[in-house]
Every structure is written in C-alpha cells, then in structure tokens.
Amino acid sequence: MTAQIIYSGNLRTTATHLQSSTIIETDAPTDNQGKGERFSPTDLVATALATCMITTMGIKANSMNIQLDGTKADVTKIMASDPRRIGKIVVHLFFPASLELDEKQKEILERTARTCPVERTLHPDVELDLQFNW
C-alpha cells in the first residue's frame, strides 16, 4: 500500500504516505464548493507532472554529471467542463543561469522530461504546454 487517505469532513482529506509518514492535506477548490485553502486533488495531478519531470531529469542529469539544483517549475492547471476535468496543464521550467549545457544535453533532458511516468499516465485529451527556459 502506498498511502492512506482519511476524509476529515468539509471537503478535506488527509493523505499519509506510508513509507515516510509525510502528510498532504487537500481541500476542494473554491470553484467546486471548497475553501481552496490546500492543494486540490487536481492541483496535485498538475504538480505531480512538474515534480515528475524535474525528478526524471535529475536522474538523467546525474548519469551525465550535470547538476540541476535550483531548477524551478511554475505550474498552471486549467479546468474544463462537461465533464469537469483537467483540460490543460502548463509547466514552465526554469534552469539556473549558471547551468551551461550544449544543445544535445538540453535535448536529452527535455526528452526525458516529456516522457516521465506521470506524463505517460495522463489521458491524451489533457493538453500539455511544456516550456523549457534554459
């Protein structure tokens, strides 16, 4: 088992990662009867994409003796309706100015990010806008 989720009422949950005991609380978004005071479940999906992209790039970068420390991602989730779902995820990756890579290294890292497990799991109807700012 990976996690245990408990509904705490008022459209909130507490998810516990069983291996590490890390806790994430969720809240329904304001446009769907919630207070928007925590990540919503769909926020976590969009966030998971960006963290997966950076993590898999980090794994590949390690094998290439490249340090990606300080890399940042800005994530925007755009909902669609009928049915209510994630319609688009925008991920803008920003790399440290001190990072000096050639075009081949950038291509390898971008391909790695674009094929991370979360990206491959998302439904093809979810539009992805992935930008790499070297």
Say whether both 28 and 47 belong to one domain.
no
pLDDT digits (tens, 9 = 90+) for 1-45: 999 999 999 999 999 999 999 999 999 999 999 999 999 999 999
The single residue listed with the structure tokens 């291996």 is 19
Say whether both 5 and 35 belong to one domain.
yes
Between the alpha carbon of residue 68 and those of residues 8, 46, 101, the distances in Å are: 38, 21, 11
Type of residue found at 119: E
Q: What kind and span of H or E run contains 50?
A: helix 41-63
For residue 96, the SS3 value is: coil
Say whether both 45 and 35 belong to one domain.
no
Instruction: Give strand pairing partners of 126.
Output: none
- Domain CATH number, residue 116: 3.30.300.20
pLDDT digits (tens, 9 = 90+) for 47-61: 999 999 999 999 999
pTM value is 0.95
